[in-house]
Structure 1
Amino acid sequence: MRIDAHQHFWQLSRGDYGWLTPELDVIYRDFLPRDLASYLQTANIDKTVLVQAAPTLEETRFLLELAQKYDFIAAVVGWVDMAAPNAAETIAELAQNPYLKSIRPMIQDIDDPQWILKDCLTPAVEALLEHKLCFDALVLPQHLSPLKEFIERHPTLPVVIDHGAKPEIHKGEITQWARDIDALAQHPQVFCKLSGLLTEAGESTSTEQLAPYMQQLLKSFGAERLLWGSDWPVLNLASDYIAWLDMVENFIAPLSEQQQRQIMGENAAQFYQLQDD
């Protein structure tokens, strides 16, 4: 099974998406299941993981409704205010829906880089563990050190780093990011998505520019803990669905067939517990 481990849908009229402004031109419109279907067919993708793009419960419920209507959506990564006093109860309620597999606070947009270490988040983390949910880490390079401490506090929580933690590829900065990524990868419950890198590369989106970052992720996590994701339609800011897929497939072509299958679907099924669905 080939799985796109990271894609979005949104509907502008919902009003959830504060970050999505007219300046973002090519993605400032509705993107719904019918818009993705042809790409999935062309790319031979069987299932997707639908990820939140707004910090609202209403959007998470909207995504869960879509998952119930469209067979290709295998899982939803939702949002909860993990710092809210009722966070555990909210997680328990959402977890009743079998499509919910993970929660993603939008850490990249939170001013305090140490937010993830706040004690008030502990009940929410305990609820994730109780309901066998995962944690998607939407972080930037400056968040990797606090994230490591968070992971060490909660060693049984499955964590996946979205978009390789968005390295500053457009600046060519790699050394500290690579060290921090390697340190996180020492924890076996931590996975990483091979996604979102093109939009961090600026105007140049050549394989040569991305290769050192992709190689670092493969070196740190191995083929056993990397998940391919499109990050569509955000991807459209830099490229398109098929071009990014081709780039990744060319990159992993030297690996064994088994390793390629892991990156292109098996790891997503394992991490998001899709194998029994």
Structure 2
Amino acid sequence: MRIDAHQHFWRRARGDYRWLTPDAPALAPLLRDFEPADLQPLLQRHGITQTVLVQAADSVAETEFMLSLADEQAFIGGVVGWVDLAQPASVDVLQRLARHARFKGVRPMLQDLDDVQWIATAPHPAVVQALLGLGLRFDALVKPPHLPGLLHFLAQWPELPVVVDHAAKPPLAQPGNEWALQAWRDGMKRLAQHPGLCCKLSGLVTEMAPQDCTSPERIAASLWPVWHTLLEAFGPSRLMWGSDWPVLTLAAGYDTWVAASDLLLAQLSPTEREQVLHGTARRFYGLETR
């Protein structure tokens, strides 16, 4: 059994995916619609019973679009949407969205903000209190420069359930990157001291050098130091597997990532693998048992 704790859908004609532009040649393979019918064969092939559908646009309209897909597709176990955390009016928006049983939380697109300290200073207390009061979660889309700000946010709101997306995107493709990787390791270990914080094993292949993505074995070998850091810091009960599909396809196929991550998880006991593959995600997001 497996839950994909991080995937996306989009319809470009909706017009709010501002990062998906022809001006970025590297994103060319993503400049089309990605719908449930594209993902379902992959889920069936790997016994994936549920997914968590995560926002890809900073608009409430996209969140409503995702919730409409969840109404149509039983495999979408939860939706992580977007609201403007800095605006008090977002309290009413959260209350409305939370009436949908599969609305599980929010994700600001922190990695795209120029101010790496935004999360430490900008969110309005009433909005964060609403997240807590409604039992919602917070997905942290961050890179290493954002970790000090995220630590400050966690200190302010220690009761808020938070998961770090894509393991904070360590600098895997930078030549001579040992200093930068060590800074990432130190930051992740400090984050892991917050007992309610979880982390996603996802979105890492697209951070790697292309020559390291040619096979499951090469991916697993390249990610082994990162995986070891995550396992040591968080343990299986706070790690969850995800694909980051379709962004994943810029570097590797869904089948390849499943095989590579299975190689990483091979050292774990059956119970520990179950935590990473479905237990942590189900518990963190409050997903139905299937």
Instruction: Provide structure 1 residue ranges, at least 5 long, that are not aligned to the other structure.
Output: none
Instruction: Pick the aligned partner of 1:219 from 232, 240, 259.
Output: 232
- Taking the aligned partners of 1:130 and 1:118, their CA distance within structure 2 comes to 21
Q: CA deviation at 1:21?
A: 2.0
What is the alpha-carbon distance in structure 2 between the residues aligned to residue 85 and residue 132 of structure 1?
A: 18
Which sits farther off after the overlay, 18-27 or 254-263?
18-27
Could you say which residue in structure 2 is the equivalent of 1:19? Answer: 19
1:183 counterpart residue number: 190
Between the aligned residues of both structures, percent identity stands at 47
1:168 corresponding residue in structure 2? 171
3-state SS of the aligned residue for 2:159? coil
Query: Relative to structure 1, is the Cα distance of residues 160 and 120 closer, same or farther in structure 2, using a 3 angstrom cutoff?
Result: closer
2:145 is equivalent to residue 142 of structure 1: yes
| Alpha-carbon distance in structure 1 between the residues aligned to 2:288 and 2:187 | 31
Q: How does 1:109-120 map to 2 (within 5 A)?
A: 109-118=112-121, 120=123
In structure 2, the residue matched to 1:77 is 80
Structure 1 length-normalised TM: 0.97
Q: Take 2:189 and 2:30, find their aligned partners in 1: how far apart are those partners?
A: 33
Whole-Å separation in 2 of the counterparts to 1:241 and 1:132: 32
Q: Partner residue of 2:101?
A: 98
SS of residue in 1 equivalent to 2:153: helix
Distance in 2 of aligned mates of 1:249 and 1:12: 33
- After TM superposition, give the deviation of residue 121 of structure 1 in Å: 2.2
**Amino acid of the structure 1 residue aligned with 2:32:** R
What one-letter code is carried by the residue in structure 2 that aligns with 1:261? E
Structure 1 residues 119 and 230, CA gap change in structure 2 (3 angstroms) = closer
Corresponding letter in the other structure for 1:133 = L
Deviation of the 1:276 alpha carbon: 6.4
What SS does the corresponding residue of 2:236 show, helix, strand or coil?
A: coil
Equivalent runs, 1:27-46 vs 2, <5 Å: 27-46=30-49
Structure 2 unmatched ranges of 5 or more: none
Query: Residue in 1 aligned with 2:154?
Result: 151
Q: What amino acid is aligned across from residue 84 of structure 1 in structure 2? A: Q
Change over 3 Å in CA distance of 1:99–1:162 after alignment to 2 = same
TM-score (norm 2): 0.93
Q: Please state how far the C-alpha of 1:28 moved relative to its aligned partner.
A: 1.2
Amino acid at match of 1:83: A
Give the Cα separation in 2 of the matches to 1:114 and 1:135.
17
Does residue 56 of structure 2 align to residue 53 of structure 1? yes
Give, in whole Å, the separation in 2 of the partners of 1:251 and 1:64.
33
Of the three residues 228, 242, 254, the one matched with 2:241 is: 228
Rounded to whole Å, the distance in 2 between the matches of 1:158 and 1:151 is 9
- The 1-side partners of 2:119 and 2:150 are apart by 7
Tell me the SS of whatever aligns to 2:173.
helix
Change (3 A) 1:119 1:113: closer
Query: Cα–Cα, structure 1 residues 154 and 143, in superposed 2: closer, same or farther, change >3 Å?
Result: same
Deviations 1:48-80 (A, max 9, x none): 000000001110000000001001000000000
Q: What CA distance in whole angstroms lies between the structure 2 residues aligned with 1:195 and 1:120?
A: 26
- Between the aligned partners of 1:232 and 1:213, the Cα distance in structure 2 is 20
Q: Show structure 1 runs of 4+ deviating over 3 A.
A: none
Q: Distance in 1 between matches of 2:247 and 2:65?
A: 19
Aligned-residue Cα RMSD (Å) equals 1.2
Q: Is 1:194 aligned with 2:197?
A: no
1:202 offset after TM fit, Å?
A: 2.6
- Which residue of structure 2 lines up, in the alignment, with residue 255 of structure 1? 268
Kindly state the Cα deviation for residue 238 of structure 1 after the two structures are TM-superposed. 0.3
- Aligned-pair distance for 1:191? 0.1
Aligned equivalents of 1:84, 1:105: Cα separation in 2: 13
